[in-house]
Structure 1
């Protein structure tokens, strides 16, 4: 249809290209999408921010394509659009499994030292960016956590203070969750105390991240201590975690401890559901 429109002399505007690019990207027909993008450039039609970010950058898998898209249009964008494009590129690298490159790119564009190098030719468009924001750091920290690069994730989290980049409760929560899953409870509680002393407050997710991992390990003292702290701060222990904990106690021949744990929960103001009681039957 596009070829027919061209042959018949129709003037193709950005709306026509936009519809086609959106559908090609949805269908993961990346090669055709990039060819159409090149056709737009050759026709002198500038893609808008939606096409650049939400269609192209979000779906391309080849790093060279990402760089080419950014290189073509970066200079014509205002600072806000540049930051959005920058965040999209970090997200694209993470989605492609290139977490290291996202990390090195973030470090290079903020003046932080990293343990590796990023192709300097890919960084030209970062030079005028004053400082990536909290969202940029969250994307990379989350990617490092998923890749089980906890030391690097913690280091980058601490570096945020050095460049005066504001933290967020989501960043704290995701780090606490990842550390809990790795059994690094000392660092979890250190971060939990930091949240309490910061402008933020721990959420039900913060507490349950630690509570769930203590339950999985069958730590009866740690689990009860966390239940008591959650009670003080008005947060409910999640059913799936304390049910798992009681099942584990019963399986290990500690049914009496499971029963005592139920009683302790009631004493702290939490009424377990029927599943919790049935575990002990």
Structure 2
């Protein structure tokens, strides 16, 4: 490949949103460029690094940048800004700031690009307060060269204020941008409107919308777009203002702004939550491009919530006819419906097996749903089988899995197995059993009056006290239901002096701190 061919090829790659088809292609091209004589100009190396940045291969881009520096290859401010941006995207702001320090030391001209990257990096790393402080030093507190900030800088600062739950301060900053020679842009308005809607300040969000529409030409006319209206519709739906959401949707259409998939998905989801399944399905069917796996799954979930499994299955058929393949969430929704709504476990298991045949790997939530349903129906053999299968598949059980298993075993009378499993889990260093897991075991000992009426004959109170001691030592407290069981026990006045007085004292402290009416309400 000669220099001319390289220029055309890498220009096409750098403009593409996808970048290189394979990462190895980028590395191979870099090695080829390094061996070329004369060396390609720095712009070619920059285009390569930029393509890797678009591919989100930040670590690889940094590695090539370091290699360039080590080999003495040409670099410029654009190379440095790309490397700095990669460090910030990896949440390594301190490493990125060293590049800025290097440039300042070498007396490079630093423009707003570098400070924008740094402020945004601080936000990504969760250091929002530092991002706001840096913005203030650049723009407000010091008389610095105006080249160090621009409209984008203000937009990033507005995002930082919104992330720190200071939407009001963000509004004030937006309204004061003109004092610093900058004009608000659409991105800044959308960021702020989205934040106001999420925080529940919908009236303020609509004031901003009116402000956008009423801007004079000299101020810079800003036309709301689909993102603006989608944020507003989403905010209205979240607080149940369905009529206002529909009005805003119509206003959007009247202004010639076409809704996108996200807009329709929000409306469909909102109508499903409202229970208006007919209207939700009509919207989806009228809008061809919004028929996607998310909207279909949302509708399926809505019908299942209404107890209409038949209509949910009809939608699944329509979905497949539309050429849209169900995903894990779709299958999980249907399995949950069969397991908890209709208790048709055979059909739930059929869907479960169907997933595997289609190349979809069930996640831990789906296993939890099925194991719980099987235990509930008394099919302990199949529940245990799925538990073993879960491990073979390489999935890692979560705390919900352990609760389901403990509760299922206790529910079906396998108390010894439940206790053995509980004790086994306590020995696993990575496993932290919560209060509900402890409560299940303690409740197991209290079932059928075994502790209240005959704990001395069964000699089980010591086991319960050992559990209590461990729970208190780990900082757990007891829920009201479990406390009520022990109130019954203590009221029997049959506690031997041999038992751990410290634990009993801790139990009394918990009882004293608990509203006694809550305990008696459980009886």
Does the pair score TM above 0.5? yes
| Aligned pairs (5 A) from 1:1-281 | 14=226, 17-18=229-230, 21-22=233-234, 24-30=236-242, 33-34=245-246, 36-38=248-250, 40-41=252-253, 43-54=255-266, 56-60=267-271, 61-75=275-289, 82-107=292-317, 109-110=319-320, 127-129=322-324, 131-151=325-345, 152-216=347-411, 219-231=414-426, 233=428, 235=431, 236=433, 238-248=437-447, 249-251=450-452, 253-255=454-456, 256-259=458-461, 261-262=463-464, 271-273=470-472, 281=495
Give ranges in structure 2 of 5+ residues lacking alignment. 1-202, 216-222, 496-523
Relative to structure 1, is the Cα distance of residues 144 and 32 closer, same or farther in structure 2, using a 3 angstrom cutoff? farther
Alpha-carbon distance in 2 for matches of 1:62, 1:190: 40
Relative to structure 1, is the Cα distance of residues 250 and 217 closer, same or farther in structure 2, using a 3 angstrom cutoff? farther
CA RMSD of aligned residues (A): 3.9
Alpha-carbon distance in 2 for matches of 1:97, 1:40: 34
Q: Decide whether the 8 Å contact of 1:40 with 1:46 is kept in 2.
A: yes
Q: Decide whether the 8 Å contact of 2:339 with 2:373 is kept in 1.
A: yes
Alpha-carbon distance in 2 for matches of 1:138, 1:209: 17
Relative to structure 1, is the Cα distance of residues 73 and 271 closer, same or farther in structure 2, using a 3 angstrom cutoff? same
Q: Residues 7-26 of structure 1, C-alpha deviation per residue, up to 9 Å, x if partnerless?
A: x9998864675465345423
Q: Secondary structure at the match of 1:128?
A: coil
Relative to structure 1, is the Cα distance of residues 96 and 48 closer, same or farther in structure 2, using a 3 angstrom cutoff? farther
Alpha-carbon distance in 1 for matches of 2:416, 2:426: 15
Q: Secondary structure at the match of 2:256?
A: coil
Q: Secondary structure at the match of 1:166?
A: coil
Q: Decide whether the 8 Å contact of 2:409 with 2:418 is kept in 1.
A: yes
Give ranges in structure 1 of 5+ residues lacking alignment. 111-125
Alpha-carbon distance in 2 for matches of 1:227, 1:147: 29
Q: Decide whether the 8 Å contact of 2:438 with 2:471 is kept in 1.
A: yes
Relative to structure 1, is the Cα distance of residues 164 and 20 closer, same or farther in structure 2, using a 3 angstrom cutoff? closer
Q: Secondary structure at the match of 1:271?
A: helix
Alpha-carbon distance in 2 for matches of 1:160, 1:108: 18
Alpha-carbon distance in 2 for matches of 1:37, 1:186: 52
Alpha-carbon distance in 1 for matches of 2:356, 2:284: 29
Instruction: Considering Cα pairs closer than 8 Å and 6+ residues apart, tell me whether 1 or 2 has the greater RCO.
Output: 1
Q: Decide whether the 8 Å contact of 1:138 with 1:171 is kept in 2.
A: yes
Relative to structure 1, is the Cα distance of residues 264 and 16 closer, same or farther in structure 2, using a 3 angstrom cutoff? closer
Q: Decide whether the 8 Å contact of 1:150 with 1:179 is kept in 2.
A: no
Alpha-carbon distance in 2 for matches of 1:46, 1:194: 48
Q: Decide whether the 8 Å contact of 1:224 with 1:261 is kept in 2.
A: no
In the alignment, what sits opposite 2:506?
A: none
Q: Decide whether the 8 Å contact of 1:134 with 1:165 is kept in 2.
A: yes
Size of the alignment, in residue pairs? 253
Relative to structure 1, is the Cα distance of residues 132 and 147 closer, same or farther in structure 2, using a 3 angstrom cutoff? same
Alpha-carbon distance in 2 for matches of 1:182, 1:257: 32
Alpha-carbon distance in 2 for matches of 1:84, 1:243: 42
Q: Decide whether the 8 Å contact of 2:442 with 2:464 is kept in 1.
A: no
TM-score (normalizing by structure 1)? 0.70
Larger Rg: 1 or 2? 2
Q: Residues 217-264 of structure 1, C-alpha deviation per residue, up to 9 Å, x if partnerless?
A: 554323233235435655437221112112223146245352364599
Relative to structure 1, is the Cα distance of residues 36 and 105 closer, same or farther in structure 2, using a 3 angstrom cutoff? same
TM-score (normalizing by structure 2)? 0.41
Alpha-carbon distance in 1 for matches of 2:467, 2:224: 67
